Structure 1
Amino acid sequence: MRTTTTAIILATAGLSALASANQTVKLSTETHELKPENFQKVVDGKPVSLYALRNHKGMVVKITNYGAKIEQILVPDRQGVFADVALGFDNIDAVMAGQPSMGAFVGRYANRIGNAKFTLAGQDYQLAANNGTNSLHGGAKGSRFQVFNARQLSDDSVEMWYVFRDGEENYPGTLPVRVVYALNDQNELSIDWTATAVDKTTVANFTGHTFFNLAGDPTTLNSDYRITVNADKYLPIDKNLAPTGDLADVAGTPMDFRKAKAFGQDIGQDFEQLKLANGYDHHYVIKRNKEGALEFAASALDPKSGRYLEVWTTEPGIQIFSGNNLSADPKLDAGKGGKLFAFRGAFCMEPSHFPDSPNKAHFPSTTLKPGDWYSGKIVYKFSVKP
């Protein structure tokens, strides 16, 4: 939600402390313990740590303040066995060497800006072309490579913040952002952010980039997961994977997830958009009842374990990604316990504003003038199906 207001209350009330942080749960044999000491490091002169969120039902989320990255999410299956459904790494060195977007809170501008440039307030800005001809996820050193300041608010919430400097990655304006990760007893993990343009007109777009494997084993494929996306339209891409500017109907195409279907059902079809992205890597226009309201965007069900994920958001769109960049590469894809991430061994559902909005005037605006605030929210709701 973007507003033009002169004041906003940034503080949020801390959630109630847990009665017991050591609740006994049944863990899958695939689950690998993350040790805080393996995430302690000084990067760019700032301390890096690992933060844990726990609720009364045994759900656990672990996050490092390097890139504000989610490294682990423990949730139960239909038998009550907990497993790790988030791809991540054992230690901070592996995080820094591995898949750069994995688990990150992404900005200053999430997703792609076509041709790595845009014009704002009459001035041209040239960005780092770090994704072919595009600028991706904030540039060569966007927030996914930055150490956030952090403090634990309670057993089930942590606050992280970062200040994008004027000229950083050649974006204009000072832009502080505050993000709060919070977990409740309904097994809902929320990501709330607030940012403000301090001194210059700028652009801003944030998302969460967790890679999910609902089976709890990143060597298994996502092809059987039942996917739903609350969208009648999507954004077609060009050969460089940037949106063309069109809004296309999903009806009658492999892009249609309005009714739940297996992720792999249509992914191999002879369809240009799937060939361009080597699978799904497309932004969908969420069907909304009210702009800026927290509404359902997408879901995924693992029929074997029964684990079910719903994604709710305030944002106008959501990127659906079928894990086409995973390849069991020992340098990038060596996850927890040494397991290699399989090709399409995970998926991402990334709510945000549309990619390349600074170059597409008919897309929802991502422009912030000095004094404007941008707040948004993503909620991952975990449950089980019979």
Structure 2
Amino acid sequence: MSSRSSGPAGRWSAGPLGFSTRGRNPVKELFGKLADGTEIHRWSLENGGTRMKVLSYGGIVQSLRTPDREGRYADISLGFDTVEDYVAGSPYFGALIGRYGNRIGAGRFTLDGTEYRLSVNDGDNSLHGGAAGFDRAVWDVEPFTDGPDVGLRLSHTSADGEQGYPGTLDVRVTYTLTGRGAWRVDYEATTDKATVVNLTSHVYWNLAGEGSGSVHDHELTIAASRYTPVDSGLIPTGEPVEVAGTPFDFRTGKTVGADLREADRQLLYAKGFDHNWVLDKGATAGPEWVATLTDPASGRTLKIATTEPGLQFYSGNFLDGTLVGPTGRSYRQGDALCLETQHFPDSPNKPSYPSTLLRPGQTYRSTTIHSFT
């Protein structure tokens, strides 16, 4: 598993937004209630020019606001303004994902001679931990301040057998807004029985502002020379292949929509991009830069550094206009994209992929940093 880096910013420093905003202690408020009466709270954080709102339901980043080149703020993540909308059918907007981010083929895997059958919620496959993954859990949340940083510590215990996974898994996720306005996510997990773990965050990004339209003009760079092709069920078929000469080559940067309409079978399977890029750096002890996303119109730029060996780039292909955001605008195909740091999809069934195995006595650690300029 990946290891969390030492120091507040790992081996890669996030740049400032260009002006200073004093950190503010996280503010808690009642956001709503679930059908069983469980209260869901929202925490508001601000630091270094970045403003974020987080829900105890699903660890969801409900809103993340940054300024453009003129200093004007916009929410650059998709979301809803009620608990009911998230419960009714959110496509993982802003959520913490687990126990296993991405897909496991046929909803099953074998570990130490025992076959485990998982919750199936994506055709024949298990997606993002199953029908009731961590995105639907109510997390315990504790605010903190640490020098120039402010943040939230989220914790959740997943019972042995939940969604078919073995082992009682104790999970701790720390959201930190640094003094420079970067959003750092640190994941930790321990288990009492051998299991598989692959945690990530599922924010939908539109750097022009949610509800503003397509992200096809955003410019994207991914530091990856290979990716993992998929079958029609979006399960990796096997060994990674080179991106050179294909629509999947983002090494030198290009617009998201540049090759989106190419007659490539992989794009047809996913109705766009929904694939795992094999990061050139591999798994690393500290977070290293892997991707940059820029909106030329607003001047906003997102840079991502991670300890993980993979990055799932999803171009919002399955947004169909039926979901409506806080501004009252519907979300259509291509109105946002996801950049999910991860181990590879279906790794429990692919021995050649980096392992997602976690045993008792070990600690799963992973770190991802999002920098906004």
| TM-score w.r.t. length of structure 2 | 0.91
Separation (CA, whole Å) in 2 of partners of 1:162 and 1:62 = 19
Q: Call closer, same or farther: CA 1:43–1:189 in 2, change over 3 Å.
A: farther
Q: Secondary structure at the match of 2:249?
A: coil
Q: Call closer, same or farther: CA 1:91–1:289 in 2, change over 3 Å.
A: closer
Gap runs ≥5 in structure 2: 9-20
Structure 2 partner of 1:190? 184
Structure 2 partner of 1:48? 40
Structure 1 partner of 2:259? 266
Q: Call closer, same or farther: CA 1:380–1:345 in 2, change over 3 Å.
A: same
Structure 1 partner of 2:324? 334
Separation (CA, whole Å) in 1 of partners of 2:357 and 2:342 = 14
1:166-203 per-position Cα deviation (integer Å, ceiling 9, x unaligned): 00011100110000111012220011111011x21100
1:280-300 per-position Cα deviation (integer Å, ceiling 9, x unaligned): 000001111763321111111
Q: State the Cα distance separating 1:36 from its structure 2 match.
A: 4.1
Q: Does residue 159 of structure 1 match 2:150?
A: no
Farther-moved stretch of structure 1 (107-116 vs 184-193): 184-193
Structure 2 partner of 1:370? 360
**8 A contact 2:160–2:166 mirrored in 1:** yes
Farther-moved stretch of structure 1 (235-244 vs 282-291): 282-291
Q: Call closer, same or farther: CA 1:250–1:325 in 2, change over 3 Å.
A: same
Q: Secondary structure at the match of 1:160?
A: strand
**8 A contact 1:227–1:260 mirrored in 2:** yes
Q: Secondary structure at the match of 1:95?
A: helix
**8 A contact 2:260–2:267 mirrored in 1:** yes
Structure 1 residues 1-386: aligned runs within 5 Å: 1-2=1-2, 21=24, 36-37=29-30, 39-42=31-34, 46-55=38-47, 57-154=48-145, 156-197=150-191, 199-288=192-281, 291-329=284-322, 333-383=323-373
**8 A contact 1:292–1:315 mirrored in 2:** no
Separation (CA, whole Å) in 2 of partners of 1:112 and 1:328 = 24
**8 A contact 1:149–1:160 mirrored in 2:** yes
Q: Percent same amino acid at aligned positions? A: 42
Separation (CA, whole Å) in 2 of partners of 1:257 and 1:231 = 8
CA RMSD of the aligned region, Å?
2.1
> AA paired with 1:90?
D
Structure 1 partner of 2:12? none
Q: State the Cα distance separating 1:278 from its structure 2 match.
A: 0.3
1:69-97 per-position Cα deviation (integer Å, ceiling 9, x unaligned): 10101101111111110111112112222
**8 A contact 1:98–1:334 mirrored in 2:** no
Q: Call closer, same or farther: CA 1:371–1:228 in 2, change over 3 Å.
A: same
Separation (CA, whole Å) in 2 of partners of 1:349 and 1:86 = 12
Q: Secondary structure at the match of 1:372?
A: coil
Q: Secondary structure at the match of 1:144?
A: helix
Structure 1 partner of 2:11? none
Q: State the Cα distance separating 1:156 from its structure 2 match.
A: 2.3
Q: State the Cα distance separating 1:40 from its structure 2 match.
A: 2.9
Q: Call closer, same or farther: CA 1:248–1:51 in 2, change over 3 Å.
A: same
1:42-61 per-position Cα deviation (integer Å, ceiling 9, x unaligned): 56664310011111x43200
Q: Call closer, same or farther: CA 1:80–1:42 in 2, change over 3 Å.
A: same
Separation (CA, whole Å) in 1 of partners of 2:349 and 2:283 = 25
> AA paired with 1:171?
Y
Q: Secondary structure at the match of 2:267?
A: helix
Structure 1 partner of 2:14? none
Q: Secondary structure at the match of 2:86?
A: helix
Q: Call closer, same or farther: CA 1:303–1:238 in 2, change over 3 Å.
A: same
